[in-house]
Chains A and B, each alone.
Chain A
Amino acid sequence: MRTGGVLNILGKLLLLLSIFLLTPIPFSYYYQDGMVTVFLLSSILGALAGGALVCSFYPETDLGYRDGFAVVVFSWLGLAFLGALPFYFSGSMDSFVDCLFESMSGFTTTGSTILPEVEVLPKSVLFWRALTHWLGGMGIIVLTLAILPLLGIGGMQLFQAEMPGPTKDRLAPRIQDTARILWKVYVLFTVTEIFLLMLGEVSFFDAVCHAFATLATGGFSTHTTSVGFFNSVYIESIVIFFMFMAGINFSLHYQGLRGRLSSYWQNEEFRFYLFLTTFSIFIIVIANLIYKTYGSFGETLRTGFFQVTSILTTTGFGTADFDQWPPVCKVLLVSLMFVGGCAGSTGGGIKHVRLLLFFKYARLQLRNLVHPQAVGTIKLGKIKVPREVLISILGFFALYVAFFFLATLMVTALGVDIVTGSTAVVATLNNIGPGLNLVGPAQNYGHLPALAKVVLTFCMLAGRLELYTVAVLLTPDYWALARKPVLRWKLLHAKEPAPK
């Protein structure tokens, strides 16, 4: 690992985020909430830290495959710290751990909050919360690739380490162009949703914040009662539609926007996603009807649609407190939490494609028991899936179980009850937001012990970067290959001044 080069890139990303830290200032002016200095101060601190890193370390152009992991993990950690500063300075949260939790929850598009009430926050801080979602959704590094040439040759490694899914679609020969295409689609959808929400008489501010949170499959709302606050079928349908879209591979959207609508249906993962969504809605609606959770059929249908898409896409918006639903619904929803969105979407979780391939693999094993001599290949659509991809998926599941188990053990060791603890881990590891019981949709994470919040913060990061990227940094092997960083000033002194 080229430590110096990694730190140099981290510095550049901090500089970029300092610029984004200035964007809530117009909102602060407009709403007169007195947060201008808070954002200015955070931005300056970020710029100083970033500047110091850039000045201290030389950029190294030959960043390798391995360095991608460190760049991405350190960048995300750095961004979460910097993003926590406005929360801290604004005085809206008590401890820095809380601010870090909230900031990480934003960037990783989790949407878990430690706040019992969000309306009390200044508007500009609310906007910042939504913006962290939006930046983290498509990926801050993918954004940097798209708009700045600074990441240079190492781009492909970074892209691979940040984009979700076992395989990556290249839409253009150059990774920068692929990143640009993805962000264009993302921006287009966001703007469309803002427009459609405003048609439903949502204020511009709420529309922007909710659109950011929807497309990123985040879940932060500007209201304590989340999307339920609007109490409008129109708005809920818009949000449902865009949550569903955000859970689809953005490469498919690109194909779709270019007029190839058939590519949606041709994609096997999309068909599975569609099937699982409809199937789950069906079960939940039936169960809620049998248990008479809601008075009317319309209400049951509406909440069923909303909660299933919200949980399956890992958004975590709420219109109903599903903690009050019958157990069968709760079990189904928690199971859906693991599934997440499609590969290449902004959703978290295991991803549909992995699950699909996992089942196909199991089916193949069953067939081989009956026909021991049969030759089996696993296909996705019409294309054979390489063996390495399958093996990496099996490894992914193993890591997943390990992370889930260890994190739950730690959280419950701190005195949190089983249901709260395990669903809190599920909800953060899969970047969803609300869990059950004490962290249910009507509750928040504020009351958890500080150490548990740290564990959950780590879970969010590990989940967003799909475990491997984070887990590899935990292996001693990785660090054995790290190089000592070279400081710029040392190089300056090492060289003799040029003769005049």
Chain B
Amino acid sequence: MKIMIIGAGQVGRHLSRKFSAEGQDVVLIDRNETRLRRLERELNILAVHGSGASVKVLEDAGIDNTDLFIAVTDSDEVNLVACLLSKKYNVKKRVARVRNEDYLSTDAPLNEKALGIDMLISPDRAMTDEIMQLITVSEAFDTAEFADGQVVLVGYVIHENNPCAGLPLPKLKQLKGSYRYVVAAIIRNDTTIIPGGYDSIEVGDKVYLMVRKQDIAEVENMFNLASKAPELVFIIGGGTIGFYVAKRLEALGINVRLVEEDADHCEYLTENLENTLVLNFDGLEANVLMEEGIEKADLIIAVTDSDAINILASLLAKHHGAKKCITKINRHDFIPLLGKLGIDVALSPREVAADMILRYVRRGAILSVTTILGSDAEVVELKVPNRPKFKDAPLKSLNFPRGAIVGAIVRDSQVFIPSGETTLQPDDNLIVFFTKDAIHHVEAFFEH
């Protein structure tokens, strides 16, 4: 597949890296030449210098035989114009990143349909959705929904008081109720393990479980994790993300304190929010935080524009008693540090957006993909091809590739959490976890 990406910012870079690693033809266009040269040296892509909204640049870069056109520069206008330009050529799919809310709602006069763009994506919106999903599962540091939300991937940190710590997986299976989930991935010391029969769970591991939504409470119970919706939430930063998260939390009846540094902007926020308490300070003043009851907070969400403020505000709040934090991070480089610092969940809007684009693009045989933030594991939904090999075959006899595991099976809109005895049927949708190295084996397994 030939893919043209406009804009070598974080989203563009992330996408280029992913696609080129898979062996796709990637052409990356940007106006910053030094940045391009560095990427060209790092990745196996063609880097073209110029504006993505220029006909000449696009033609020189070979837009005529491009399958997928992704415009993710910092400017909405450039992205939209580039996508509109690409309509004059033989491009199969178009994706544009936009910030302006005017294009995003379904009743907007210039929405996806009117513009003729297959997908409009806003990192802030994607980020809001992601945060909201995390809030509903309180102990998890990561969640992702599959099969229309029937099954959920949840990530938990294993603490010392966890009864499952130190247990090998076969022992874990003997514990009551364990058929209700699959241990999909374990992250230990920055390495990702797709567990086989003999791995065990250790203290300090990050464990990803595949669970049916209605079973989450029971599984959390088993792992000695209590799940309940938060009562008091602090949000640091009243930008787009902070505003929309506050608005949606309000609607759920959750008590929200929104901290914003800019006094004028606070006016705007109070005008547009109902029950949220808007506080005017920078989020780093400990005594104000304590006066406002930070020790009772179930969650702090730090979403200002500055990574440093987000990290420090989260740590400060946790130090003074907040139970959990969700921290927005722009620079990918910091993510490995955060676990050690005590940040529970780190989210990068651009990576969240890039993952949404990846998920959208790979709809097809591979239905959707999520990357587990900061690890090597990926998740895809795959359709079982209609071939005799797969009919009535129990999973354990199929020789499923190493480094990959089936997390759930969706059949006729029913979801199963599989075990070794579970049999496959053609047209089942499988939710498969795999490490990056195993992707080709997984593809080959279903093709042959």
Where the two chains meet, the residues of A that have a C-beta atom closer than 8 Å to any C-beta of B are: 65, 153, 155-157, 160, 170, 172-177, 386, 498-499
Contacts and interface: CB of A to CB of B under 8 A. Distances in A.
A386 B2 CA distance: 28
B40 A156 contact: yes
> Could you tell me the dominant secondary structure of chain B's interface residues?
mixed
B45 A173 contact: yes
19 contacts: A153-B21, A153-B44, A155-B44, A156-B40, A156-B43, A156-B44, A157-B41, A160-B41, A170-B40, A173-B26, A173-B27, A173-B45, A174-B20, A174-B25, A174-B46, A176-B44, A177-B25, A386-B33, A498-B198
A234 to B, nearest CB: 41
A180 to B, nearest CB: 13
Contacts of B20: 174
Interface of B: 2, 20-21, 23, 25-27, 33, 40-46, 198
Report which residue of A170, A173, A386, A498 has the largest number of chain B beta carbons within 10 angstroms of its beta carbon. Answer: A173
Contacts of B33: 386
Given A157-B41, A174-B25, A175-B44, 8 more contacts: A156-B40, A170-B40, A172-B46, A173-B26, A173-B27, A173-B45, A174-B20, A174-B23
Contacts of A157: 41
A499 B198 contact: yes
A170 B46 contact: yes
Residue from A155, A170, A174, A176 whose CB has the most chain B CB atoms within 10 Å: A174
A99 B91 CA distance: 56
Contact of A173 (B21, B25, B41): B25
B331 to A, nearest CB: 21
Which of B21, B27, B44, B198 has the most chain A CB atoms closer than 10 A to its own CB? Answer: B44
Nearest to A386: B33
B41 A65 contact: yes
A173 B26 CA distance: 6
Contact of B25 (A65, A153, A160, A172): A172
Contacts of A65: 41-42
Which of A170, A177, A498 counts the most B-chain CB atoms under 10 A from its CB? A170
Contacts of A176: 44
A280 to B, nearest CB: 35
B43 to A, nearest CB: 8
A410 B45 CA distance: 44
A153 B22 CA distance: 11
A158 to B, nearest CB: 11
A146 to B, nearest CB: 14
B316 to A, nearest CB: 37
B60 to A, nearest CB: 11
A156 B41 contact: yes
Contacts of B198: 498-499
Contacts of B42: 65
Contacts of B2: 173
A499 B196 CA distance: 12
A498 B198 CA distance: 9
A80 to B, nearest CB: 28
The 8 closest A-B pairs by CB, nearest first: A173-B46, A173-B25, A170-B46, A173-B27, A173-B26, A65-B41, A175-B44, A499-B198
Nearest to A171: B46
A253 B188 CA distance: 53
Nearest to B27: A173
A347 B448 CA distance: 46
A151 to B, nearest CB: 11
Contact of B44 (A174, A386, A498, A499): A174
Contacts of B45: 173-174
Contacts of A177: 25
B368 to A, nearest CB: 25
Nearest to B168: A499
Contacts of A170: 40, 46
A155 B43 CA distance: 9
B61 to A, nearest CB: 9
A499 B169 CA distance: 14
Contacts of A153: 21, 44
Contacts of B27: 173
